Amino acid sequence: MTLQSINPATGEILAELAEHSAGEIEARLARAAAAAHRWRFTPVAERCKVVARLGDLLDAEQQRLGRLMTLEMGKPIRAGAEEAAKCALACRHYAAHGASMVADEPVADDEHRSYIAYDPLGVVLAVMPWNFPFWQVIRFLAPALVAGNVGLLKHASNVPQCALELETLVRRAGAPDGVFQTLLVDSSAVADIIADPRVAAVTLTGSERAGGSVAETAGRALKPSVLELGGSDPFIVMPSANLPLAIETAVKARTINNGQSCIAAKRFIVHRDVAERFTAGLVAGMEALRVGDPLDPRTQLGPLASARLATELEEQVRQSIILGARALCGGSREEPKSAWFPATVLIDIPENAPAYRDELFGPVACVFVARDAGDAIRIANSTRFGLASSVWTNDDAERDRFVREIDAGSVFVNDMVVSDPRFPFGGVKSSGHGRELSELGLREFTNIKTVRMRIAGGARDAATE
């Protein structure tokens, strides 16, 4: 079987790559296992140098890499270059701070020398999506390599060239053979790879269905997993907010990456006193976006990653309109079989509609009107997701209440949600479990080992357990 790389803007087949055979998968697993034994005993300073060099390559070649992302999944080319630059930033963060994150942590303990050690687990399988084809991988890989783990990547089937390019970059950065490898395999092969005793852990970014399947397989094998799944993030606007800035940010937050981001703002929950002004501004902003060739640096909104995804999004919108929602702009494709979907704003959305219940992965903004702060929190939490949230208010009491009561992995106040290597990233409820980024993400795939040494000549404890 083959994996196809297709330009979603044109439908052109860019490349066809053969899937790895069972023999090639076995060979790569064997190389990973051998590399894991050597890499864990490589001094952390040397591991950090490799990650730093990887960052340098990503930075120096961001234009070329951004173009590759644009060709394979359709993001605006400026966004692709920015993604490569962000990957470089993450690599440099872990290269600079990773050694302290895995350093032995002393614990005060009379008559003992005690500390917590952070040992690598070994081979980590990463099952990654297409929407940020470099960033999703680097945010797992940079901390994993610094911690002494090695990586196997099962990337989304529509970005195989990005997957292979990542393997090449890591090798060019000086990583030894087997430290990071791409597996060109179908999703049906993932369960057997997770179950392989040489694989120590798995991380996945993707859909609820994929996350449930991976978690089930990892659980049966008694292996840890980190899951970053879907989101239907609230963007709450209260009367005290800077409304022009909130509107400007809302347009960007909903259409970043052509609307295909787990942490894109999706549900705009607006206090009734400012709902009319906010909605009018949001519609105007969405309609003003420059739509066009994603290779054109002026383009603000390109195609979705495939025609299939556009069809699925259009059906969610259509069903929501049938059930009572109204589209103030957009709502359907001009060309039924294309990957292009227009910027859309929906209002009057009933609770049984897909636009209320589910994640809409594309440039569709859903507006809800709230009576007060309590009602806004109710609407924000009335979803099975809990990834991130954005709150716009200049009232101190409201701000503190939103931070405490919103069920999400992060709350951004008067700002757009972003991922940042300095802060833990992840969600609750159906948005997954575990954390990526920061020292907490690095330590997800370590053996947090307690070490307690009695000092020679010390008095025996009165009681022990």
Sheet strands (E) in 144-264: 150-154, 180-182, 199-205, 225-228, 233-237
Facing residues of 415 across strands? none
- What residue ranges in 314-445 does DSSP mark as E strands? 326-329, 344-347, 364-370, 389-392, 411-413, 432-433
C-alpha closest to that of 303 among 267, 260, 346: 260
Q: In angstroms, what is the C-alpha Rg of the chain?
A: 23
**Structure token pair of residue 385:** 């997701």
Query: 3-state DSSP call for residue 400?
Result: helix
CA dihedral in degrees (18, 21, 24, 26; nearest 10)? Answer: 150
- Kindly name the residue from 262, 314, 398, 436 that is annotated as catalytic: 262
The catalytic residue among 83, 165, 167, 228 is 228
Helix (H) or strand (E) holding 195: helix 190-195
Assess whether 228 carries a catalytic annotation. yes
Please return the burial class of 462, using the count of CB atoms within 10 Å of its CB with bins 0-12, 13-18 and 19+: exposed
Query: Tell me, what DSSP letter sits at residue 371?
Result: S
What strands lie across the sheet with 112-120, from one edge to the other? 105-107, 112-120, 446-454
Q: What span, in angstroms and rounded, lies between the C-alpha atoms of 309 and 301?
A: 16
Q: At what angle do helices 135-147 and 160-172 cross, to 10 degrees?
A: 30
**One-letter amino acid identity for 270?**
V
360 vs 299: CA distance, rounded Å: 22
Alpha helix segments (H runs only) across 323-366: 354-357
Amino acid (one-letter) located at 354: P
* Active-site residue set: 228, 262
